[in-house]
Structure 1
């Protein structure tokens, strides 16, 4: 089967989330390991990551707090140092192989601007903030299908998260590739639902080129 496009999740697929969560811990005034542990705990319970922030500050309003951080000069920041080392080599190799390469994840519109500023070797960048719909909503993956060249089964979605990436991508007709890294990638690496849904599983993005050729 021909693969025409490869689309990547962002957090813990392309980007190490340590800076992201660390900045929230600093903003809330708690040790970084405290928030990291809470994020892991709510994830294991099947809850949204934002619940970890609400455990620290009951009634936490994510939209309002993001705005407050921007106004305080402590807004979102994505730098080259946040990228995993295999990101640029893998994206470059995929494009050199003639594949369309995209980035689409559950991030803000501002995150899309920050990613674009890194000048990554990709053909497109989109976020849930721009599209107005977030994973795992099927409408998100419909947008991916409309956006990336190819029929659904000619598009590979790459991610670390069982419930947000692999299972819904496959359920919506895309090919699904699981990257085994980051807390969710390791937590669910051998999960039966993930195994049934993923077409491939890798430990490094550089493995992808040979798999999808």
Structure 2
């Protein structure tokens, strides 16, 4: 039985609509254009920041991020940004005795915003707070250390093969690939996902059945 489940954030718990819409508005570019470019770089297997570089080749993403924060147009998060199954699934898992961990590639600011939602989780941290990001094996080592359990006792849930299921599996964790968001849908049936994921799910509620099995 699985006793610890760790969750990615973007397009696993939180919709990325607001994130990309904010960048589109900041760069004075139509939102549908940014969405299309994100899809294009995803299909190429590139980092999603490449979408911003297609719009502005010389962009310094961290500097622009800071400029947005200074202008009062930085990261934001509300209950509406959560996928509908998040609270029911996390609550059901905790009620079943599963330890719930949230740990993804996000900024320290996003960590603050996530905590403000008071999600049903035992531990919440971001790569920005830890100073190490996926797919670095050190991220998963830190995750296990913070969770206080061996890596083999953690099930990591995410939508992105190259950031979630593949590196987590290589680090010794069990994995679940979520068919959600651009990466989740596009790569759902690729061999790399089939091979690296112990489970392939369509909803976070599917995890409740897994833990009860």
1:56 and 1:87 map into 2 onto residues whose CA distance is 33
Query: Which residue in the other structure is 2:200 paired with?
Result: 201
Q: Please, what TM-score do these two structures have when normalized by structure 1? A: 0.97
Q: Could you list the per-position Cα deviations for residues 65-97 of structure 1 after superposition, in whole angstroms to 9, with x for gaps in the alignment?
A: 111111111010011000000000000001101
> Cα RMSD over matched residues?
0.8
In structure 2, stretches of 5+ residues that fail to align are none
Q: CA deviation at 1:23?
A: 0.7
Q: Please, what TM-score do these two structures have when normalized by structure 2? A: 0.97
Q: CA deviation at 1:166?
A: 0.5
2:152 and 2:208 map into 1 onto residues whose CA distance is 17
Query: Which residue in the other structure is 1:96 paired with?
Result: 95
Q: CA deviation at 1:58?
A: 1.4
Contact 2:140 2:151 in 1 (8 A): no
Query: Which residue in the other structure is 1:158 paired with?
Result: 157
1:193 and 1:68 map into 2 onto residues whose CA distance is 38
In structure 1, stretches of 5+ residues that fail to align are none
1:123 corresponds to 2:103 = no
Q: Could you list the per-position Cα deviations for residues 90-126 of structure 1 after superposition, in whole angstroms to 9, with x for gaps in the alignment?
A: 0000110111101111100000000000000101111
1:200 and 1:147 map into 2 onto residues whose CA distance is 24
1:205 and 1:149 map into 2 onto residues whose CA distance is 23
1:45 corresponds to 2:44 = yes
Please state whether the residue corresponding to 2:205 is helix, strand or coil: helix
1:64 and 1:120 map into 2 onto residues whose CA distance is 30
Query: Which residue in the other structure is 1:106 paired with?
Result: 105
2:47 and 2:113 map into 1 onto residues whose CA distance is 24
